[in-house]
Amino acid sequence: MYEYFLDIVNNIIYIPDDVMTHPGLPAGWVAFILFSMIVIGLRTIIYFSTSKYNVRNKALFQYTLSAKPIKFIVTHPWLIVSLRLFTATVFLILIYAGLFGTQIAEKNIATVLTWTVWWSGVVISIFFVGSAWCAICPWDAIATWLVRRKLWKRGNKNSSLNLRVPKTLRSLWPALFMFVALTWLELGIGVRVSPYATSLFALFMLVLAIMSLVIYERKAFCRYFCAIGRTIGVYSSIAPVALRPVDKKICANCKTLECYHGSQQSTGDKGLPYIEPCPTHLVMGSLTQNTYCTSCGACSMSCPSENVSWQIRGIGDEIIQASRKTVLRGRVDEAWFILGLVSLTIFHGVTMMPYWEDSIQKLAYTIGDSGQLLMSFSMGMIVSMLLPIILFVLTVKLTKVLMKTGEEYKRIFSALALSILPLAFTYHIAHNLTYLVGESAGFWSIVANPIGTNVLPGGMMRHMNPLVADDIVFALQGLLVVFGFWLSLRIARQRFHQITESKSLNSIAFVPLLGFIFIISLVELWLLMQPMIMRM
């Protein structure tokens, strides 16, 4: 039986002879993942009527051993300022290397650090530290220093026009459109394999951050426009850590709201507020989700009661423990952003398969596209993105019919979209593990020679010397797929009961969403089975 299964798996894997690839998941892990998904799916249906989770968060500095260090970190700016100086320095080195160094992608720190190490590392780090990267982002740091002319204190209000962001832009739609555009530039134009283009892309993002800070109040770029930051923010709603009040009663009785307005101290320059206000307009006492929190520490440093700290919670509990009111008032733009993440992560995997390029060339020949084949690539990208989107829209429509609920379609759409977020997050990590492990060997030699003076291409050597054994990578990828599937079903089941307020909801209404989650998981599993072309 196992040999028969192995033959089936091998027949659906295309292994090219003329390109360098990373190995895909072996049949053993595929069998384990499929078996686990079937068991989890059946268990969810059988115990569908049971839906109660007890969630308890714990502030880190309430633990005796970590009290003083954690309290010092969250109430003083020096650690964040030091890390921002470090990331800004690395950013400037990256810009210089990309503009003036070798244009061999795998030998220039601009491309290797950006596309192989940094982005993969940031996505993985969300699992452990939430949105902490945004606190030390070099784009925001440099923009703030240039416009505000302060390392960490609030600058003069006259340094910015402080205009209110237009209502049409106060959503995640700008970030989603930017994410789609950046994906097109990365994969269609080939920014990823060009150090020069990578540096221009980094500078472009910096200019956007600066212009946003000059024109709009607070940090509109971070809240509305930055595709990277909003991806981190949405993913961090799954993370097991978050900045939250230590004692909610203190926040409930607070009248001054320093976490929102910033703090006032006599040592401030000319009586101006000493600590920056929340850059994304959040009030700590009413904060229930990580989506817009940049972990900048302004709230913890400005709070006179020192009532803000990092807290530990269960993975995904932020979504699961949401009240019915919160679930039903979910924002449509956030739901579409999550759906966009699912589509774009799958699309990234599709473009890394060996036969993607062949398919695009055949399409280009059919429609008469020539040159860089941008029209053919764009058509392929649109189709790849639309398939999961259309499938989810139909899933929600069928679910609404079977649920026989009076709730509006958009409310159900928004509520259920969060249940598929783990699928994007876990696949994103699993996919990037392949490249982080397989193409990071020799990274320190690139650090020693960041502009690649007198170097020759060496992609094959990096592929032959991965940082971690393939079996360990396969194990991590397999567990991630199973975990993402399980967490998606857990969130979906809970949200069904929250939408209907019924403990005895017919499990038949749950089948369409279960089917969608199962299909997307199978697609992601199939992609992980395929040999993936090296990025550079």
Length of the chain (residues): 536
Report whether pLDDT(5) > 90: no
Residue of 94, 77, 282, 131 whose CA lies nearest to 206: 94
DSSP structural state of residue 115: I
State the pLDDT confidence band at 336, using cuts at 50, 70 and 90: very high
- What pLDDT is attached to residue 255? 87
Residue owning tokens 């026009």: 161
- Residue 172 tokens read as 């995640």
Q: Does the pLDDT at position 111 exceed 70?
A: yes
What is the spatial distance between Cα 400 and Cα 407, in angstroms, rounded to a whole number?
8
What backbone phi and psi angles, to 5 degrees, belong to 2?
Answer: -65, -40
Gap between the Cα atoms of 36 and 101, Å rounded: 48
Contact 232, 134 (CB under 8 A): yes
Give the DSSP H/E element, type plus range, for residue 449. none
CB 65 within 8 A of CB 290: no
Beta bridge partners of 310: 243
Amino acid letter, 433: L
pLDDT value of position 242? 87
Q: How confident is the model at residue 72 (pLDDT cuts 50, 70, 90)?
A: confident
For the chain, the structural domain boundaries read 2-55+331-440+459-533, 58-313
What's the pLDDT band for 359 if we cut at 50, 70, 90?
A: confident
Residue 46 has pLDDT above 60, yes or no: yes
pLDDT at site 506:
64
Query: Which is higher by pLDDT, 4 or 356?
Result: 356
For range 42-49, the mean pLDDT:
81
Please say if the pLDDT value at position 8 is more than 80: no
pLDDT band at 430 (very low <50, low <70, confident <90, very high): very high
The more confidently predicted of residues 35 and 63 is 35
Segment 365-388, tens digit of pLDDT:
888 887 778 899 999 999 999 999
- Tell me the backbone φ, ψ of residue 238, rounded to 5 degrees: -90, -20
d(CA 497, CA 276) in angstroms, rounded, equals 41
Position with higher pLDDT, 150 vs 177: 177
Answer yes or no: is pLDDT of 270 > 60. Answer: no
For residues 34-49, average pLDDT: 88
Q: Report the Cα 474 to chain-centroid distance in Å.
A: 22
Place of tokens 């982005």: 119
CA atoms within 13 A on the CB side of 371: 6
What number is the average pLDDT over the span 427-455? 83
pLDDT digits over 389-426, tens only? 999 999 999 998 888 777 788 889 999 999 999 999 99
Give the pLDDT band of residue 58 (cuts 50, 70, 90).
low
Find out whether 38 and 478 touch, Cβ atoms under 8 Å: no
**pTM for the whole thing?**
0.89
Cα 51 to Cα 318, 320, 354: the distances in Å are 16, 10, 44
> What confidence score (pLDDT) does residue 59 get?
60
Q: Is 154 or 320 the better-scoring residue by pLDDT?
A: 320
Report the candidate in 245, 328, 237, 327 with the shortest Cα–Cα distance to residue 283.
245
Count of C-beta atoms within a 10 Å radius of residue 307: 21
Using alpha carbons, list the distances in angstroms from residue 313 to 237, 242, 405.
Answer: 11, 8, 32
Element (H, E) at 170: none
Tell me the average pLDDT of the chain.
Answer: 84
DSSP-derived secondary structure letter, 277: P
Taking 50 as the threshold, does the pLDDT of residue 9 lie above it?
no
pLDDT (tens digit per residue) in 200-212: 999 999 999 999 9
